């Protein structure tokens, strides 16, 4: 998390002159709903976590890896004491890359990499990259399992020259690798769905098209024509692959874009609604509340970058089944 949590005496800051922050949290504390424009990677090493992202609940076991996409409201519950590794990196200027944006859409709201079910060669490669980042950031790989009087490892020093660039390059490889192999990471059902999508235009190209035109007055008929299918055939195969209807997917894409725009305090809610492709502010507010559980104005107030997250002392004894 960012800034200060008084009740847990935790202070986490960006590494000097970077958009990166990484730390080992040994505090037995929970965190209320919040969001930020950073990608967040949580890697429990000694104790599990329960993480809620929107309407999804993830039971993150020891050695599992959870990748939380930018601009996703999430809350974290510590079920028992033990260390967890956090990596956060500001991707606000990088999501303009179409394939990064596409990867986050595939992962959204979070990608749960389970050690028990992820193919070993994939899991081992992902761990190698995370360990490389740790070594670059901390100077040498910290002894995660060693108990220390200082409950956190919080470096205030600068990285080596081009160290930030090296870390971001590894993170980009990490995201690309997860995106390309997401059907194997998520399990056999996703892999089966992917193998059935054998058409002249790949789903990734359709998603790229949608990412470029989602703010326009786009329709199922026009996208089906672009893909070269009848409306009904395209609707069926699109729903089989994504698990949602075309219009649900399009609306979620618009809402995801609006979530990012809400980090800019200079944009009004009305401006954001139209820039995201909604026909009216009323329609935007209704759809946004249905998707996130919050109206846009309240969602904006939960932005950790603008409103430093405070630990809730009542969470100390909270448990969720």
Instruction: Walk me through the domains of the chain, giving residue ranges and CATH numbers.
Output: 3-187 (2.60.120.280), 189-301 (1.10.10.60)
Region 104-110 average pLDDT: 83
* Beta strand ranges found along 64-154 (DSSP E): 65-68, 74-78, 84-90, 110-113
Closest CA to 287 of 303, 301, 304, 299: 299
Nearest-angstrom CA–CA distance, 46 and 63: 8
**pLDDT for residue 13:** 58
Give which of 105, 126, 118, 109 is closest to 51, Cα–Cα.
Answer: 109
When pLDDT is cut at 50, 70 and 90, the band that residue 196 belongs to is: very low
> Given this model, what pLDDT does residue 301 score?
86
Residues 6+ apart with CB under 8 A from 141: 131, 134, 135
Residue 104 confidence (pLDDT): 84
Average pLDDT for residues 129-142, to the nearest whole number?
80
Query: Is 3 a residue whose pLDDT tops 70?
Result: no
Higher local confidence (pLDDT), 165 or 238: 165
| More confident: 224 or 166 | 166
- Give me the sheet containing 49-53, strands edge to edge: 31-34, 74-78, 49-53, 56-60
Mean pLDDT of 178-200: 62
Under DSSP, the state recorded for 8 is: G
pLDDT of residue 14: 58
Lowest-pLDDT range of 4-13, 31-40, 46-55: 4-13
Number of Cβ atoms within 10 Å of the Cβ of 218 = 18
**pLDDT of amino acid 173:** 94
Measured between alpha carbons, how far is 210 from 218 in angstroms, rounded to an integer?
Answer: 9
In the structure, what pLDDT confidence band is assigned to residue 199 with cuts at 50, 70 and 90?
Answer: very low
pTM assigned to the model? 0.69
Report the pLDDT value the prediction gives residue 241, as an integer from 0 to 100: 62
Which residue has better confidence, 302 or 242? 302
pLDDT at 179: 87
β-sheet bridge partners, residue 60: 49
Is residue 83 scored above 80 in pLDDT? yes
pLDDT of residue 249: 87
Pairing of strands 3-5, 10-12: antiparallel
pLDDT on residue 126: 96
Stretch among 86-95, 96-105, 130-139, 144-153 having the lowest mean pLDDT: 144-153
What tens digit of pLDDT does each residue of 278-300 get?
A: 999 999 999 999 888 889 999 98
């Amino acid at each position: 998390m960012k800034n200060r949590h008084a009740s847990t005496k935790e202070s986490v800051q960006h590494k000097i002159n970077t958009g990166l922050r990484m730390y080992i949290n040994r505090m037995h504390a929970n965190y209320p709903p919040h969001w930020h424009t950073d990608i967040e990677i949580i890697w429990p090493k000694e104790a599990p976590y329960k993480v809620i992202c929107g309407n999804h609940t993830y039971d993150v076991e020891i050695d599992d890896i959870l990748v939380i996409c930018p601009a996703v409201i999430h809350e974290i519950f510590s079920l028992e004491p033990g260390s967890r590794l956090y990596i956060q990196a500001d991707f606000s200027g990088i999501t303009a890359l179409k394939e990064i944006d596409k990867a986050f859409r595939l992962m959204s709201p979070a990608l749960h990499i389970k050690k028990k079910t992820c193919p070993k060669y994939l899991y081992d490669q992902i761990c190698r990259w995370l360990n490389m980042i740790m070594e670059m950031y901390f100077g040498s790989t910290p002894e995660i399992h060693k108990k220390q009087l200082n409950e956190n490892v919080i470096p205030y020093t600068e990285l080596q020259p081009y160290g930030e660039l090296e870390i971001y390059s590894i993170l980009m490889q990490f995201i690309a690798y997860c995106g390309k192999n997401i059907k194997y990471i998520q399990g056999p059902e996703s892999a089966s769905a992917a193998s059935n999508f054998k058409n002249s235009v790949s789903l990734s190209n359709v998603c790229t098209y949608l990412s470029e035109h989602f703010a326009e007055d786009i329709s199922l008929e026009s996208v089906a024509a672009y893909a070269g299918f009848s409306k009904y055939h395209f609707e069926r195969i699109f729903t089989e692959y994504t698990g949602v209807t075309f219009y649900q997917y399009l609306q979620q894409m618009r809402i995801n874009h609006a979530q990012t725009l809400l980090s800019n305090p200079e944009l009004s809610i009305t401006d954001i609604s139209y820039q995201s492709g909604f026909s009216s502010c009323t329609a935007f507010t209704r759809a946004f509340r249905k998707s996130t559980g919050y109206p846009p104005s309240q969602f904006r107030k939960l932005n950790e970058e603008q409103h430093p997250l405070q630990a809730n002392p009542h969470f100390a004894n909270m448990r969720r089944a």
